[in-house]
Structure 1
Amino acid sequence: MKYTIIQAPMAGVSTPEFVIAASKAGILGSFGAGYLNAEQTQKAVDAIQQETEQFCVNVFVPEENNYTTAQMEEAYAIIRTYEEKLQVEEAPLPEVQQHFYTQLEVLLAAKVPYVSFTFGLPPVQWIERFKQQGTILIGTATTTKEAIANEQAGMDYIVLQGIEAGGHRGSFIEGEQVPLHELISATKPHITTPFIAAGGIATAEDVQEMLSLGAQAVQIGSALLATTESGASAIHKKTLLNSQQGDTMLTKAFSGKTARGIRNTFMEEMQTQPIAPYPAQHFLTNRMRQASAQQGNPDFVSMWSGTKGYLAQATSVENIIHQLLKL
C-alpha cells in the first residue's frame, strides 16, 4: 500500500468531489457505492476518473433477503408515525433492491484500481476476474474469524474495523465486536495479509500509533465528515461539530444492521420497537431520513460518527490530512 491514509468510503455521504479532494490531498480516496445501482455507480466512476486515476470504490456484499412482507409492514407502521411528524405523505412499501453484481461489472469494465468489500466476500469467480486485470482488492473484518476468511479468499489488504468506527459494522460472521487495539492484537498472529486500521483514528498521534502496531495504512472517516468537500448533510455536519465525547451509540434503527452514529430521538425510541432486517429497514426509513435532513431536523436522520467524531473540524480535506500527517 503506497498510501498512509485511506478516506473511508462512507456510503450515503460519499460524492465524486469528496473522493477527488482526498486524492488531491495525497491519500487514497474511496467512493461508497453501497446503495447505488449500476448506472449511478458508472456515473460516479466516470466523474472521478476525469480527475484522478488512483481511487477505490466500495461495494456492499449482499446478504440473503431473510425478511417478509409482514416484517416490513410491522416496521413501517412505526416509521410511519415519524413520517407524519415530518409531514411526509404515505406511500406503498418500497422495493428492496441490491445491485451488487451489476456494479461489479461496471467496476471491471472501468478498470477501477482499488475495490473494497463490506458485509462479506464476493464469490471466488469475481475475485479471480478482478485479479486477472490487476485490481487491488480490500476486504473488511471486525473479528479475527472474518480476517482469516478475507485472507483465505485472497484479499490483498484487510481493513480491521474496531468497534469505535462510525457507520455500519462490516461484520459478516457471528462474533464479539471489540475495540481496534484488541482486534489488532488478536488478529495479527493469525494472518499474513497486510492490514489497514480503522475505527477511532482522528489525530496524528492515532495514525502513528496504528502504523507502529503494524498497520500498512489507516482508514479515516469521521475526521473528514465535516469538511467542505464532504457529502454529509448540513444538519449532519452541524450536529457532528457540536457533538461531545460519548455522544455516539450503536443502533439498527435506520438500516436493520448495526451502525454507530450520533444519538438522537429515533435511535433512542426505536430500541424497543420492531425493526425490519437489513436491508429492508434501510429502504423503509429512506424518505423519513431525507425529509429530516432537508428540514434541518436532527431527530430522525442517520448521522454516522465514530467515537472520536467530536474532533471533526469544518475545514478542507487537505487541511485535515496535513494535520494527520504532520506536514
Structure 2
Amino acid sequence: MNMWKRSELMRRLDLSLPLVQGPFGGGLSSVDLAVAVSEAGGLGSFGVHHLEAAAITAVAADIRARSARPFALNLWIPHDGSDEAHADAAQFAAYLAPLAPYFAELGLPLPTPPARYAPPYAQQIDAVLAARPAVFSFVYGIPAADVLARCRELDIFTLGAATTPAEALALVQAGVDGVVATGFEAGGHRVSFLRPAEDCLTGTLALLPQVADAVAAPVVAAGGIADGRGIAAALALGAQAVQIGTGFLACRESGTHDLHRRRLLGEDAGDTALTRAFSGRLARGLRNRFMHEIGAAATAPYPIQGWLSGRLRAAAIAQGRGDLMSLWSGQSAPLLSRGEPLAAADYIARLMSQAQQAIARLGSLAGRQEQE
C-alpha cells in the first residue's frame, strides 16, 4: 500500500512517490533511467542543455514511446549570454594552452575553434515547448516571461532551481510553479544566478526550511540526499518531494561510464571538491588529477572550457583514464551501497522502504515521549 500523502506537487504531476530524478547534462542522462523512474511513480528527467533542437525532439519522442508517465526536460538558462560565447584566435590559444599537455598525453591533435560552443538556446526552448513534457525544469536563472506564459498555455509545470531564498522568491514572483532548493552538498554544477556561486554555499538542512518559509509554491529538496533518511528529513523540513542525482547516477541505467560509476560506489566516494576545471563554472565532483592540476590554473569561461574539456573527456573515456574526466558526485555518495550498481527500480524500492522506516521510528519516538 502506498503510504505517501499526495502533496500538491504530486497531485499536479500525477506522481505516486515524492521523488524526482536529478537531470544530468553532458550525456549522463539516459532514456532508460528517465523511463524507469517515471514508471516507478517518480518523475524521470533528462538534461538536454547540451543537445541541439532535433536531438531534444528525438529524446522526448523516445521517452514518450516507452512510457505514458510524466517526465521532465531540463535546460540551462543563459542568463549571462553564454550561449553566444566567442573567442578570437588569440583568446582561444590562451584558453587552450593549459590543456595542451593533456591533449598530447591522450594522443589528440589540438582542436580548432568551433562555429559555436553551445547549441542555440532559442531553438532549444522551441523544441522543449513543442515536445510538451509534463515538466520543464531549469537551472541558472528564470526563463523569459513569454516562455513561462507559453508553458502555462501548454499545461507544462515549470520547476526552477534556487541556491538561496532570494533566488526562490525571484522564481516564484516571475510565475514559476515550483522550486528546487539546492544545497551545496549536491553533485554537479552550483546553479546560482543572483550572486556568484561561491557566495551561495548553504547546506540543504539550512536552506530548505528557509525556502519553504519564503515561498508558497511547492518546494523540492536537493543536495545530500541518497537514502531514505534524507527523504524523511526533507519532507519534515517542508519539501513536497526530493530530487536525487548522485544515487541515480550510480544506477545501471544512467548514461555514465563504468569508470565513473565505480568511483561513486567505491571506498573513496566521499572525496569530493568544488571546481571550475571542467566547465568553467563551479561544480562538485570526485577529486582526480585533472581537477587538482587545472584547479590552480586559469580556466576559460563557460561554455568554452566545457567544450575544450569535452574533447579530452571522450578520449579519456575511450582510454580508461578516470584521472582526466569529470566525475560529478555529491557529498551523499558514501550513503550508497558499495559494490555492484543497482537497477533504478531496486534503488527506488530501497529508498522508499528506508524512508518509511525512518518515519516510523520518528512516530515511535514521539509516542514514547508522550507516554513519559
User: Which runs of 5 or more residues in structure 1 are unaligned?
Assistant: none
**Alpha-carbon distance, 1:78 to partner:** 1.0
- The separation in 1 between residues aligned to 2:346 and 2:326, in whole angstroms, is 26
- The separation in 2 between residues aligned to 1:105 and 1:243, in whole angstroms, is 44
Match of residue 50 from structure 2 = 35
Match of residue 73 from structure 1 = 93
Verify: 1:269 aligned to 2:293, yes or no. yes
If the length of structure 2 is used for normalisation, what is the TM-score? 0.85
**In terms of mean alpha carbon deviation, does 260-269 or 93-102 score higher?**
93-102
Over the matched positions of the two proteins, sequence identity in percent amounts to 36
Contact 1:225 1:312 in 2 (8 A): no
The RMSD of aligned alpha carbons is: 1.5
Verify: 1:241 aligned to 2:248, yes or no. no
Match of residue 188 from structure 2 = 167
Match of residue 49 from structure 1 = 64
Verify: 1:20 aligned to 2:40, yes or no. no
Aligned partner (choices 47, 54, 76) of residue 60 of structure 1: 76
2:49 partner amino acid: G
Contact 2:274 2:282 in 1 (8 A): yes
Does the residue aligned with 1:26 lie in a helix, a strand or coil? coil
**Alpha-carbon distance, 1:312 to partner:** 3.3
Aligned partner (choices 131, 152, 165) of residue 144 of structure 1: 165
| Distance change in 2, residues 1:21/1:214 (3 Å) | same
Match of residue 135 from structure 2 = 114
| Distance change in 2, residues 1:315/1:172 (3 Å) | same
**Alpha-carbon distance, 1:225 to partner:** 1.4
Matches within 5 A, 1:212-223: 212-223=236-247
Aligned partner (choices 81, 103, 126) of residue 124 of structure 2: 103
**Alpha-carbon distance, 1:245 to partner:** 5.3
Deviations 1:65-114 (CA, angstroms, capped at 9, x unpaired): 46643443222111121111111122212331233221221222222111
Verify: 1:318 aligned to 2:345, yes or no. yes
| Distance change in 2, residues 1:243/1:35 (3 Å) | farther
Contact 2:139 2:191 in 1 (8 A): yes
Aligned partner (choices 288, 296, 301) of residue 312 of structure 2: 288
- The separation in 2 between residues aligned to 1:38 and 1:232, in whole angstroms, is 22
**Alpha-carbon distance, 1:186 to partner:** 2.9
- The separation in 2 between residues aligned to 1:274 and 1:29, in whole angstroms, is 37
- The separation in 2 between residues aligned to 1:243 and 1:89, in whole angstroms, is 35
Does the residue aligned with 1:14 lie in a helix, a strand or coil? coil
Contact 2:263 2:269 in 1 (8 A): no
Contact 2:290 2:324 in 1 (8 A): yes
Verify: 1:11 aligned to 2:28, yes or no. no
**Alpha-carbon distance, 1:243 to partner:** 4.2
2:170 partner amino acid: A
Matches within 5 A, 1:82-231: 82-94=102-114, 95-174=116-195, 175-231=199-255
Contact 1:67 1:277 in 2 (8 A): no
Contact 2:218 2:240 in 1 (8 A): yes
- The separation in 2 between residues aligned to 1:171 and 1:68, in whole angstroms, is 24
1:56 partner amino acid: A
Contact 1:36 1:99 in 2 (8 A): no
Q: Which has the higher contact order (CA 8 A, sep 6+)?
A: 1
**Which structure has the larger Rg?**
2
If the length of structure 1 is used for normalisation, what is the TM-score? 0.96
- The separation in 1 between residues aligned to 2:189 and 2:20, in whole angstroms, is 17
- The separation in 2 between residues aligned to 1:10 and 1:192, in whole angstroms, is 27
- The separation in 2 between residues aligned to 1:301 and 1:285, in whole angstroms, is 8
Q: How many residues align?
A: 327
Does the residue aligned with 1:285 lie in a helix, a strand or coil? helix
1:236 partner amino acid: H
Contact 2:212 2:239 in 1 (8 A): no
